[in-house]
Amino acid sequence: MKTIPLNERIIFALDFSDPEEARRWVEKVDGKIRFFKVGLQLFLAGWWPVVDHIAGRGNKVMVDLKFFDIPETVRLAVRQMKDRDVTFVTIHGNEPIIEAAVKEKNDVKILAVTVLTSFDESDMREMGLAGSVEDLVHIRARKALALGCDGIVSSPLEAARLRSDFGSRFIIVTPGIRPGLNRDVEKDDQKRIATAKDAIINGADHVVIGRPISTSADPLSTIDLIQDEIRQGLALSRGLRGSTGG
């Protein structure tokens, strides 16, 4: 099991259109969380100064722009991450796109997005695809890892199979996390969801969480709750590994 500080297990999704609001959130949760996701919305609103502000406070940054374009464009886009203190960058594409990104990655870690968590079997059928989402995630993850990606992004529901089949040496980042999950929980646009505890048990290294924290009446207590779930998941994972001699 990787040695990852508890305050880096949660990647807080700064899904805001106002860079100043994003900065306030970074300062609000500073210390409790030391890993932040800058997605398309915030990056377009604040550009590199937002990323630099987060990194400048000693935090890690996941730039989640899901690069998908012709290989040369993707290669040059990944080059822009150099010397920016970016830890993870996401891509979403076929073999030539992955190869181009990996070729240019330098110190940044490349994560391949397998299947978006807003996507389920009904969407596959509409696209004329057979099989299950889990199978599609597995196929794409196997290809991405073989081509040199450092890790993958998948829902927590597929993480167990990926970890079992491909081992422990790559990174799994899971969005679609809901604290204290029950059947009536608001899913937003996510369809394949789980608790942080289940994600960690299934093999996730990091969980991406945004709205459950940012819309909470008590965000810091919500973070404590999620981190407690992560602790439980880590303890159970260690127990399972011990019982199987792993």
Q: Give me the active site residues, please.
A: 66
Residues 6 or more apart whose CB falls under 8 angstroms from that of 206 comprise 4, 8, 9, 10, 11, 35, 171, 172, 173, 174
Tokens read off for 83: 């010397």
The amino acid sitting at 103 is K
Question: What does the alpha-carbon distance between residue 195 and residue 156 come to, in Å, rounded to a whole number?
Answer: 8
How many DSSP H helices and E strands does the chain contain? 10, 8
Strands in 75-210 per DSSP E: 88-91, 109-113, 151-153, 171-174, 206-209
Question: What does the alpha-carbon distance between residue 119 and residue 132 come to, in Å, rounded to a whole number?
Answer: 11
